[in-house]
Amino acid sequence: MPVEHAGLAAHAEVLRSDARALAACAERLREIGARLEAAGVAPPWLRASVNAHVAACVEAVTDLDEAATRLHRYAARSRP
C-alpha cells in the first residue's frame, strides 16, 4: 500500500499545532494558578487541580511532539 507523504506531513503538522495549543493552555493555567495563589483565594483542592491539569498538558505536549517527529521520520523513510 503506497504511503501518501503529503498526507503524513499534514497530519504531523496538525499534531505539532495541537502541541503548541496545549503548551499555551498550560501557560495560561500556570498564570491563573499564580494569580489565585497571590490573591490568597485558591483553596488547596483548586491548586492541586490546576497543577494536575498543567502536568497533563505538559505530558500531552511531549507526546504530541514525539508523535509528530516520528510521523515525519516515517514519511521521509517511506519515500519512493
For 24-76, write each residue's pLDDT tens digit: 999 999 999 999 999 998 899 999 999 999 999 999 999 999 999 999 899 88
Task: Name the residue ranges covered by the structural domains of the chain.
Answer: 5-77
* pLDDT greater at residue 1 or residue 38: 38
Residues 6+ apart with CB under 8 A from 51: 33
Please give the pLDDT value at position 16.
97
CA dihedral angle for residue 47, residue 49, residue 51, residue 54, rounded to 10 degrees: -140
Whether pLDDT at 3 is above 80: no
Please give the pLDDT value at position 6.
80
pTM of the model: 0.83
